[in-house]
Structure 1
């Protein structure tokens, strides 16, 4: 996936018409806990509390220009992608339907409804919801927004362009990025090429949703159960072949973190920065902690990709009762 310099600059203009850049901070207490500089990219500070809004904005802008007759879009999500579609659809006067699995985050569902999204609950996991969205799109003549698409990646890449440009004088040696369906990690690779930095990229999955790790290791897209209880943003059962191709070419490794490691990272983020991280949002830090013996004297980047965690879940995590 190759984007021109102008296409990335265009994505930045589209994103910044709706939101400012998000910050990156080197928190002293994180350095004290891990033993090296940790730069956190705060995508929990977007208008929707997660990085996905960027891709929704660029996808909707592309859709308006290339498919002007579309009036109603549909997609599937565990939450943040659906919010991004609702947010961008409302900007362009489109109707939006989003399919979520039963038992999805109560607060993410409420956030989508607040964006005028018509919410449909179907299936026990994301994959089942995605398949149902395809059925509804065909039945009702709706435009189906995929969860992975070059236009989503183009928007998401702007987060990492900000990160690398802000740290241009001394870029991090490594950047950890959580993997759901792949727009984050592939967006980071696009941004790295755009900015001309040599930062290593390491993808992070859940031990209870290892499809991308298994696919990365084998070289072919592999399905695997997705049963993580806390990192719903990484609860992906099937690797996307187009994303996998880029990941295998651009990413040094894909490692897995447990729900317990994620919960511990959520607590550390809260106590060290007073930011709230959802499970997937804390996965990058969990991975850096797991591999902290590799990075003495180095500079490490992690993305706090989202902070949309239900209050009841956060309360259990902070009490170490997950």
Structure 2
């Protein structure tokens, strides 16, 4: 069976996108090469216009419409990145756009989509429910539906990343690609396997949204009852129909990573490389960092597909990461309720060079005996060993310390 996407379509998409999108950098990372044993190159689609690769496919689709279709406008369903790509592409083409987003979509992505000029409708608790609502609106309005992944023209636009990879790194050995509905990896796989069949194409999904993974294992397209992951950009309950067939033919392997691994990759990219990515953009590094595959010495390109992370989520990831690494610790102890007691406690903390972030002193808490006060300390420490030294030092001074 022939596929509805081919190399010629991807090359035509590149011509349409010339002068519209950024040719994003392919950045070699010495740090992550050392940590993983591979020669790691980041394809920085987080620096793309609208903050993700999605504008490539959206613009290619919209610029392929007839004049009659353009007059009716376009509609899409998206958790955020495709929404911005469609809105930006439609504005550039001078046509109207409507985007249906889940009610729980990040506020930053909703505001950015409206900022590009789209009419935003919030409906449903997931991408799939938003998609169903968008289909109803499409039938009522006659607007052209721009699918987020299950459209050959959309996938062809995403496939231009594959052309750029091979031009910038001809001796590429493998590429790791985030997978939600499959449009990104379908386009990249067709481009790369058509030109360099030896290059391994490996997909990465969140363990909380493994629709493609389970569809491949079950040998039929499956729909999940629910999805739950911090990688909202790939949180899809059912993969695309034609994209799944492309994945079957061209993708060498598909891996799963969990949310803790994704969060750690986000934090490490931020701290070690000063790169901001969202959950979907970090899954490729998470797979390599946590040993889900080993490619020693190989030149490996990781697609960092987007950088539109909600700042509230980012702050939680940073704080949790600091706690897990022992760089922030919260302690609870009890002191006598008399002048100088708190000062002596703080002097003991200072003696082991822990930095105090905040203090809560409570002498009226019912569980605390009279003439005593409970003290909670939030401390900045250097690592887990430093935390142990702080606790030991306070214990030697007679304090009963609880790490909370």
Q: TM-score category by the smaller chain?
A: over 0.9
- Say whether residues 1:291 and 2:291 are aligned partners: yes
Distance of aligned partners of 1:40 and 1:226 in 2 relative to their CA distance in 1, 3 Å threshold = farther
1:74-85 alignment runs, 5 A limit: 74-85=75-86
1:33 lines up with 2:9 in the alignment: no
Distance 2:47 2:254 in 1: 26
In structure 2, the CA distance between the partners of 1:312 and 1:278, relative to structure 1 (3 Å rule), is: same
Structure 1 gaps of 5+ residues are: none
1:257–1:287 Cα contact (<8 Å) kept = yes
Alignment: residue pair count: 319
Whether the aligned pair in 1 keeps the contact of 2:209 and 2:228 (CA below 8 Å) is yes
Partner of 2:391: none
Residue in structure 1 matched with residue 347 of structure 2 by the alignment: none
> 1:10 is matched with which residue: 9, 12, 30?
12
Query: What secondary structure, in the 3-state scheme, does the structure 2 residue paired with 1:119 have?
Result: strand
Q: Which residue of 2 aligns with 1:116?
A: 117
- The alignment partner of 2:65 has SS state of helix
Gaps of 5+ in 2: 324-404
In structure 1, the partner of 2:311 is 311
With structure 1 as the length reference, what TM-score do the two structures score? 0.94
Residue 289 of structure 1, CA deviation: 1.8
Pairwise CA distance, 1:220: 0.5
Q: 1:226 to 1:267 in 2, by over 3 A?
A: farther
Deviation of 1:303 (Å): 0.4
Per-residue displacement from partner, 1:285-318 (whole Å, max 9, x unpaired)? 1112233662122222210000000111111112
Structure 2 match to 1:93? 94
1:129-278 equivalence runs, <5 A: 129-147=130-148, 148-168=150-170, 170-172=171-173, 174-278=174-278
Q: Which has the larger radius of gyration?
A: 2
Contact 1:215 1:221 in 2 (8 A): yes
On the 8 A contact 2:202/2:251 being kept in 1, the answer is yes
Structure with the bigger RCO (C-alpha within 8 Å, sep 6+) is: 1
SS in 1 for 2:20: coil
Counterparts of 2:280 and 2:79 in 1: how far apart (Å)? 11
Where 1:83 maps in the other structure, the secondary structure is: helix
Among candidates 15, 20, 23, match of residue 21 of structure 1: 23
Aligned residues: CA RMSD: 1.8
Q: How far off its partner does 1:32 sit?
A: 2.0
